[in-house]
Structure 1
Amino acid sequence: MTGPRRIVCLTEEPTETLYLLGEQDRIVGISGFTVRPAEARRDKPKVSAFTSAKVDKILALKPDLAIGFSDIQADIAQALIKAGVEVWIANHRSVEGIIDYIRRLGGLVGVASKAEALASSLQRRIDGAREESSGYAVRPKVYFEEWDEPLITGIRWVTEVIGIAGGDDIFPEHAQASLAKDRILATGAPVIERAPDIILGSWCGKRFRPELVAARPGWDAIPAVRDGELHEIKSPMILQPGPAALTDGLDAVQFIIREWVQRQG
């Protein structure tokens, strides 16, 4: 075995990726929010959340690498670096970035060829979805809601997945904002104005409640609400910038949009 042998994964996407690469034996600790794959949650010690971690517990595992994601985990990274742990904090935000992340992670652990095979298979899946949707006579306007209080929308890779699947995100301008605080809608008025045909809900850590969305003042005028096109996509499938977003996440979005297109005749 070459590369790091004892890896702590501070978020889900490195865990899922390493399992897909067959390198799960390197993992000695995971995020408590990990649900994919199920065996990781069952077999690996949980040592971190999104913004906090059990540093002493991590150090006791004697990791030679910790992998995290984004500025949200800067404090965890700092604590581990001060304790002498090598840390990689990725910050990819796009579909292309996810594919590149898989290649980089594979190279880091010495399995570049396996990572290339995985990345290529995901790219073929994306290309196939894009080819299918290119034949649609009409594209639905889609509102994706990441959180409800306050309203948060516009994660870049989700916007891109919607586009690949044949829809148009109604807030494409938010896709360039990496921080959630920069993607908050002050009120629901812009959603009403942009009149989405489909509403996709993925409330991180809690169940999407379409009946509550439909009951918001003025939202009964939205085509998606009028036509009952409110759909949940489970957050582990779409809110992590890892393989799941390009497999189960893309499949779920593609199915919803395909069904909508077919109903348009």
Structure 2
Amino acid sequence: MKLQDQLHREIHLKEIPKRIVSLVPSQTELLCDLGLQDAIVGVTKFCVHPHYIKTDASIVGGTKQIHLDKIKALNPDIILCNKEENTKEIVEACKAISEVHVSDVFTLKDSLELIKQYGAIFKKENKATIIINEIKSELKAFKVFIKEKSSLNVVYFIWKNPWMVAGNHTFINYLLQLNKFKNVYGNKRRYPEIKLSKLRADKKTEVVLLSSEPFPFKKMHKKELQEFYPNAIIILVDGELFSWYGSRLTKAFKYFKSLHLNLQKNNQPL
């Protein structure tokens, strides 16, 4: 069986992979939703969905630092990576152990393509189609909901010390656009670092979103940022629903709708 991943690399498989190592949390969840949890032998320490997966599978490191000896000992048939989450060096090292599939997701189209590819690789086409159709249905309903909403100037924070935000060419930025959130840092690439001291008082930003991951922002950080964004509503948001591009997207659009309804109803921090 000859297939391509999202970097158009050829993957050669003699049979359906029975032993999977996943180095990306959102992809681990997708595998389980495809019914492949029993085939997953290795995951990262950040693979938290489903909650039991780190008990059932071996932890082989993080997304940027892995234990190659542990992966090799698991004798995987395939290792699943992502261009953004994992380094090029990790991908190259894993290629010496088994076939490697690399995802590359920046849009919803990319995400649906990935789900379809997994369906083909693991012979789970029917379940993949169900997930894809559910995401499309949820998106269609959300587009109707968001159509008449006004655009808002938004900053999306992902890290503290240093302060970092989501810029363009990220899946987060793509979902911000779907929400009619105009990214204040949309002219910056990837995840730029910003100096709060240079902001003084930003009166143009209307909403500041503090992600739950990778940095776990809390209520105290809202107070810390308020002086720099005196006119903005500062909200703690579920980072998984803004950045996970697998089957979690089936839940994302209902969450976005509730986010907008709360903004509209209360006009105050959630």
Length-normalised TM-score, structure 2: 0.81
Q: Secondary structure at the match of 2:60?
A: strand
1:116 to 95, 109, 129: 129
Could you report, residue by residue, the CA deviation over 1:22-49 in whole angstroms, capped at 9, with x for unpaired residues?
A: 1222211111101111122332211120
Distance 1:65 1:218, change over 3 A: same
Match of 2:158 in 1: 146
User: CA separation in 1, counterparts of 2:99 and 2:200?
Assistant: 44
Report whether the alignment pairs 1:239 with 2:243. Answer: yes
CA contact (8 A) 1:98 1:243 kept: no
Alpha-carbon distance between aligned partners in 1 of 2:116 and 2:176, rounded to the nearest angstrom: 23
Determine if the alignment matches structure 1 residue 159 to structure 2 residue 173: yes
Bigger share in helix: 1
**In 1, Cα distance between the equivalents of 2:214 and 2:89?**
22
The alpha-carbon deviation at position 66 of structure 1 amounts to 0.2
Report SS of the residue matched to 2:257: helix
What per-residue deviation string (whole Å, max 9, x for no partner) do you get for residues 198-235 of structure 1? Answer: 211115344213433443485153x22xxxx3222233
User: In the alignment, does 2:16 pair up with 1:12?
Assistant: no
* Structure 1: distance between partners of 2:187 and 2:117: 28
Deviation at 1:162, TM superposition (A): 2.7
In structure 1, the residue matched to 2:184 is: 170
- Provide the rounded CA distance (Å) in 2 between the counterparts of 1:219 and 1:243: 36
Deviation per residue, 1:237-263 (Å, 9 max, x gap)? 43333232x244443333222222234
> Judging changes above 3 Å, is the alpha-carbon distance between structure 1 residues 191 and 16 closer, same or farther for their aligned structure 2 residues?
farther
| Residues 143 and 217 of structure 1: CA distance in aligned 2, closer, same or farther (over 3 Å) | closer
Contact 2:31-2:37 at 8 Å conserved across structures? yes
1:46 correspondence with 2:72: no
2:206 corresponds to which of 189, 192, 197:
197
Q: Call closer, same or farther: CA 1:196–1:248 in 2, change over 3 Å.
A: farther
Give the counterpart of 1:57 among 51, 70, 92.
Answer: 70
Q: Percent identity?
A: 18
In structure 1, what is the Cα distance between the partners aligned to 2:64 and 2:47?
14
Q: Which of structure 1's runs of 4+ aligned residues deviate more than 6 A?
A: none
SS in 2 for 1:129: helix
- Give the Cα separation in 1 of the matches to 2:242 and 2:19: 27
| 1:147-169 Cα deviation digits (max 9, x unpaired) | 12132222632223233334333
> In the alignment, is residue 67 of structure 1 matched against residue 80 of structure 2?
yes
**Equivalent AA in structure 2 for residue 69 of structure 1:** N
How far apart, in 2, do the equivalents of 1:163 and 1:260 lie?
17
Change (3 A) 1:216 1:132: closer
Range with greater deviation from structure 2 (32-41 or 193-202)? 193-202
**2:106 aligned residue:** 93
Unmatched tracts of structure 2, length 5 or more: 1-14
Change in CA separation of 1:235 and 1:217 when aligned onto 2, cut-off 3 Å: closer
Rounded to whole Å, the distance in 1 between the matches of 2:215 and 2:163 is 14
Asked if 1:135 corresponds to 2:123, the answer is: no
**Does the CA-based 8 Å contact 2:155-2:165 persist in structure 1?**
no
**Comparing 204-213 and 188-197, the one that deviates more:** 188-197
TM-score, with length taken from structure 1: 0.82
Tell me, in whole angstroms, the C-alpha distance in 1 between the residues paired with 2:200 and 2:104. 29
CA distance in 1, matches of 2:180, 2:193: 25
